[in-house]
Amino acid sequence: MGDKFERLRRVIDEFNRLHGSEAESSIVSVDGNEVIIEFEGSFCATCGLYDYFDDIKWEALDFGLEIEPVEVIEAEEDEFEHGRYVVRYRLGRKSMLVPIPRKADKG
């Protein structure tokens, strides 16, 4: 898990480098394949809020990680367009492929 955690930390660092003027992210916890990430900031009014949560997924691919946002578990907003969101992610993806049964060889 150490290598995955290090890569995840680098993903967060890269996200903060790219989006830090609008939103900062931090790892709250990692438990098995579940990752909790907190986002806080003013967020870009013209960008979709969920785009920030998806950006973590796209940044992770550059570091060899697959991570999917699952749900927003906390949301706080004030009247000055400042917010705090806690998002649950799943590390890795479940395969959606279903194996096709092979026909028995006729001999």
Q: What is the CATH number of domain 2-91?
A: 3.90.1520.10
Contact 12, 37 (CB under 8 A): yes
Predicted confidence at residue 54, as pLDDT, reads: 92
How much is the pTM? 0.79
Residue 93 has pLDDT above 90, yes or no: no
φ, ψ of residue 65 in degrees (nearest 5): -115, 145
Contact 26, 37 (CB under 8 A): yes
Residue 86 has pLDDT above 80, yes or no: yes
Beta strands in 32-66 (DSSP E): 34-41
d(CA 83, CA 74) in angstroms, rounded, equals: 10
73/20: higher pLDDT: 73
pLDDT tier, 96 (very low <50, low <70, confident <90, very high otherwise): very low
pLDDT tier, 77 (very low <50, low <70, confident <90, very high otherwise): confident
Predicted confidence at residue 78, as pLDDT, reads: 81
- Token pair recorded at residue 22: 């609008």
- Where do the domains of the chain lie? 2-91
